[in-house]
Amino acid sequence: MHSLIRNKKIIIVTGSGGVGKTTTAAAIAVQAALMGKKTLVLTIDPAKRLATTLGINRFTHIPKEVFIEKNITLSAMMLDTKETFDALIQKYAPSKEVAQKILTNHIYQFLSTMMAGTQEYMALEKLYELNESRNYDTLILDTPPAKHALSFLEAPDRLAHFLDENILKWFLKPYLKAGTFSLKMLTSGSHLVFKLIEMLTGLHVLYELSEFLLNLQSLYSGFRERTLKAQAILKSSQTAFLVITNPERAVFEQALELHKRLSHLQVSLGGFIVNRVTIAFFPTLNAYQKLAQREKEQIQKIKTVIGKTLPLYEIPFFDNDIHDIKGLRLMNHYLFP
């Protein structure tokens, strides 16, 4: 794990919910800072547990300094999806007037917070922005649970598809032909879509959608270029993914499936971390022995799958929950022996 911090700039922590992923991300960030790296940990985990672990009252979208020990700190922040999206609009809009029209549009206000994949894409955008700033040596990203982890990887493709000029032209065809928005000019496919929207919400939303798509078209080239650059950092030699799991059979299976998908996407894997492993401290307690043996067999299954190509780290189950810097450093005895 030391070599991972020395050789990689971006470490992305993935895994199912409830496996200690957020805590692990924080522990790695602490160690990176102790190794002399100017470090930032970014979370998009809605549980916000990282703030408590690092001793922060609350997260903001502005990096906040966390004290570790004398002269050693790290920065931590939480993704603000809408703030990040708004900044992109302002950056790529051809004028302040167009930017203002988009930002105040009700369709945009919904999409910027509620559309599937928006949070994951904006996390990637923020990661790209932080990477380009060159203000940090090491960036640690704490992702949502595994089903969303893959959304994080696939979000750029989905957004690029949505922004595809052909898709936009399909929606905008009636407007471009008529010069005004008219239901009579809609193609057969779009007619059904907009007619349904009209029935449910009234005609006004059609004008809002038309205006939003027309203005969005002016941002296409800038967004597309930014998307490709952001996507490139996921497969960069400077980026590594860590898969976090625990000894439960169902969670193990999810971790193995995640490993398979990540391998298929050809991203760099930094290793597996098995958290909360039972240690049979009391040989006389048969239940502990059996549980420890079952977990050992599960861990061996992962070792068989990954072979010797990836390191595997085991963190024992602690009696007390990890909730402060002291606890994070205790974890690091196992991650960084």
CATH of the domain at 301: 3.40.50.300
Q: Are residues 86 and 75 in the same domain?
A: no
Q: Is residue 231 domain-resident?
A: no
Q: Are residues 111 and 182 in the same domain?
A: yes
Q: Is the pTM of this model over 0.75?
A: yes
Q: Are residues 143 and 198 in the same domain?
A: no
Q: Is residue 133 domain-resident?
A: no
Q: Are residues 97 and 163 in the same domain?
A: yes
The three-state secondary structure class of 112 is helix
- Residue span of the structural domain in which 93 resides: 82-121+159-224
Contact 261, 186 (CB under 8 A): no
Q: Are residues 262 and 172 in the same domain?
A: no
The number of domains in the chain is 2
Report the phi/psi class of residue 242: left, alpha or beta, with left for phi > 0 and alpha for psi in -120 to 50: beta
What contacts 238, CB < 8 A, 6 or more positions away? 8, 9, 10
What is the spatial distance between Cα 296 and Cα 112, in angstroms, rounded to a whole number? 45
Residue ranges in the chain whose pLDDT is less than 50: 167, 172, 175-189
Q: Are residues 103 and 142 in the same domain?
A: no
Q: Are residues 54 and 99 in the same domain?
A: no
Q: What is the pLDDT of residues 277-288, one digit of tens each?
A: 987 666 656 777
Q: Is residue 104 domain-resident?
A: yes
Q: Is residue 129 domain-resident?
A: no
Sort 137 into a burial class: Cβ within 10 Å, 0-12 / 13-18 / 19+.
Answer: middle
Q: Are residues 300 and 318 in the same domain?
A: yes
Q: Is residue 128 domain-resident?
A: no
Q: What is the pLDDT of residues 177-205, one digit of tens each?
A: 444 444 344 444 455 555 555 555 555 66
> Quick one: which H or E segment has residue 316?
strand 312-316
What is the spatial distance between Cα 10 and Cα 144, in angstroms, rounded to a whole number? 17
Among all chains, which residue has been given the structure tokens 């909360």? 276
CB count in 10 Å sphere of residue 290: 12
Residue ending a domain, choose from 224, 252, 280: 224
Q: Are residues 247 and 291 in the same domain?
A: yes
What does the block give as tokens for 48? Answer: 């916000």
Residue ending a domain, choose from 196, 224, 252: 224
Q: Is residue 126 domain-resident?
A: no
Per-residue pLDDT, 61: 79
Per-residue pLDDT, 155: 67
What is the spatial distance between Cα 1 and Cα 250, in angstroms, rounded to a whole number? 26
Q: Find how far residue 5's CA is from the centre of its chain.
A: 19
Q: Are residues 206 and 314 in the same domain?
A: no
Q: Are residues 42 and 92 in the same domain?
A: no
Classify the C-alpha dihedral 158-111-50-248 as positive or negative. negative
Contact 60, 43 (CB under 8 A): no
Residue ending a domain, choose from 174, 192, 224: 224
| For the chain, counts of helices (H) and of strands (E) | 15, 8
What is the spatial distance between Cα 281 and Cα 54, in angstroms, rounded to a whole number? 30
What is the biggest distance separating any 2 CA atoms in the chain, rounded to whole angstroms?
83
Q: Is residue 232 domain-resident?
A: no
What contacts 133, CB < 8 A, 6 or more positions away? none
What does the block give as tokens for 88? Answer: 């992109």
Contact 337, 311 (CB under 8 A): no
Sort 297 into a burial class: Cβ within 10 Å, 0-12 / 13-18 / 19+.
Answer: exposed
Q: Are residues 147 and 211 in the same domain?
A: no
Using CA atoms in the order 45, 46, 47, 51, what is the torsion angle rounded to 10 degrees?
A: 70
Q: Is residue 307 domain-resident?
A: yes
What is the spatial distance between Cα 27 and Cα 313, in angstroms, rounded to a whole number? 13
φ, ψ (nearest 5 deg) of residue 271: 145, 175
